[in-house]
């Protein structure tokens, strides 16, 4: 998949694609349906997305909410067969584009889109003045086709949405969130150097900051962690805590991952951590011995939960 961080000066062989537009946060089953319809339209399949997420730019003081980093979003889109990813910087300039200006400068002059695919609730341009109906009108004027995809629902009529997935994760339901996503929810980041307290009690951990990621329910999870190994990723089972470590007077929210049967050095490497099941809420223990005893129980439970699941080999797999 080719990645462009701009819309001007795009080479001829990266223009003239079917362009699906959206934030694609999570690349969930609704997004996948939209991409499937865009792919069925033929020719090259492209996605047009924005960084930072417009919500982050427009509401900088809002709590973290991201389901996917740009790195993971690109990985998921490539796995789904996207040929080109255009990522535009959402800043003061782009945020002031009128809907007509966005169509003319970005879609027509910049990307040369032959067809544009959006969701039914898609809005764009300054003060959200453009919508799907306006885009259809502009397509007729500028010579590109427009496809509008209706909301995708599950067997019980519930819409697949990033908002619904965020709610499930905040409630400690990663397995149910994975059903809506079509793949386990994953936190990706660089392994930090911590206080190495886990080593002293026999459970070394790889620590990853959550950054802009959504803060899920605090507690202990059964996880599968992907360790980068050159061009491939080696997945290992483990147990993780998301929280502030109240027993050791921690204050910073952190993802701590203990990999089963692993003795390597992960400092400075990127780690992908898929939350597979929620085990228990975070709580304070009387001391390190009590904490160690509970971790033993947590590990046993995590191993049992993960043994019942299909081994993870790709990013688009669901639990």
10-residue mean pLDDT series, the chain (319 residues): 96 97 96 92 90 92 95 94 97 95 98 96 93 97 96 85 96 96 95 68 86 96 88 90 76 91 87 97 85 93 92 53
3-state percent breakdown (helix, strand, coil) of the chain, nearest 5 = 35, 30, 40
Indicate whether 18 and 68 sit together in one domain.
yes
CB distance 208 to 271 below 8 Å: yes
Tell whether 97 and 202 lie within a shared domain. Answer: no
Quote the pTM value.
0.90
Would you state the pLDDT for residue 131?
96
Domain span holding position 97: 2-149
161 in a domain, yes or no? no
> What is the pLDDT, as a whole number, of residue 245?
74
Instruction: Please check whether residues 90 and 136 belong to one and the same domain.
Output: yes
Task: Report the C-alpha gap between 105 and 176 in whole angstroms.
Answer: 41
Please report the pLDDT score of residue 289 as a whole number: 85
Q: Tell me what pLDDT residue 199 has.
A: 58
Please report the pLDDT score of residue 201 as a whole number: 61
Angle at 121 between CA 120 and CA 124, to 5 degrees: 115
Q: Residue 227 in contact with residue 234, Cβ under 8 Å?
A: yes
- The Cβ of residue 53 has, within 10 Å, a number of other Cβ atoms equal to 19
What's the pLDDT score for residue 41? Answer: 73
106 and 38 within one domain: yes
Q: Pick the closest to residue 27 from 133, 207, 184 (CA basis).
A: 184
Please report whether residue 180 resides in a domain. no
Cα gap 20→69, rounded to integer Å: 19
In-domain check, residue 294:
yes
Residue 318, pLDDT score: 38
Task: List, by residue number, the catalytic residues.
Answer: 256
In a domain? residue 271: yes
Cβ proximity of 135 and 116 under 8 Å = yes
Domain count, the chain: 2
**80 CB-side CA count, 13 A:** 33
pLDDT given for residue 94 in this prediction: 95
């Amino acid at each position: 998949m080719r990645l462009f961080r701009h819309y001007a000066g795009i080479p001829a062989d990266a223009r003239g694609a079917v362009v699906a537009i959206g934030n694609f946060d999570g690349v969930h089953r609704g997004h996948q349906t939209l991409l499937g319809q865009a792919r069925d339209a033929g020719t090259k399949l492209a996605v047009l997305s924005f960084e930072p997420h417009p919500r982050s730019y427009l509401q900088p003081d809002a709590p973290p909410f991201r389901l996917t980093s740009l790195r993971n979003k690109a990985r998921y889109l490539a796995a789904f067969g996207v040929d080109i990813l255009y990522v535009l910087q959402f800043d003061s300039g782009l945020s002031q584009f009128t809907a007509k200006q966005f169509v003319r400068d970005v879609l027509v002059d910049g990307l040369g889109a032959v067809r544009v695919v959006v969701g039914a609730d898609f809005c764009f341009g300054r003060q959200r003045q453009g919508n799907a109906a306006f885009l259809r009108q502009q397509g007729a004027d500028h010579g590109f086709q427009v496809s509008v995809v209706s909301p995708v629902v599950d067997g019980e009529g519930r819409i697949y949405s990033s908002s619904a997935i965020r709610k499930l994760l905040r409630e400690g339901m990663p397995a149910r969130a994975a059903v809506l996503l079509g793949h386990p929810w994953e936190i990706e980041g660089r392994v930090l150097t911590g206080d190495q307290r886990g080593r002293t009690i026999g459970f070394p951990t790889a620590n990853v900051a959550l950054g802009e990621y959504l803060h899920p329910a605090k507690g202990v999870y059964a996880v599968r962690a992907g360790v980068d190994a050159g061009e491939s990723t080696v997945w290992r089972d483990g147990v993780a805590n998301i929280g502030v470590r109240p027993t050791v007077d921690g204050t910073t929210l952190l993802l701590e991952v203990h990999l089963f049967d692993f003795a390597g050095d992960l400092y400075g490497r990127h780690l992908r951590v898929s939350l597979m099941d929620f085990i228990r809420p975070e709580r304070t223990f009387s001391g390190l011995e009590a904490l160690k005893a509970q971790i033993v129980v947590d590990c046993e439970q995590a191993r049992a939960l993960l043994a019942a699941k299909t081994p993870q080999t790709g990013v688009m797999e669901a639990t």
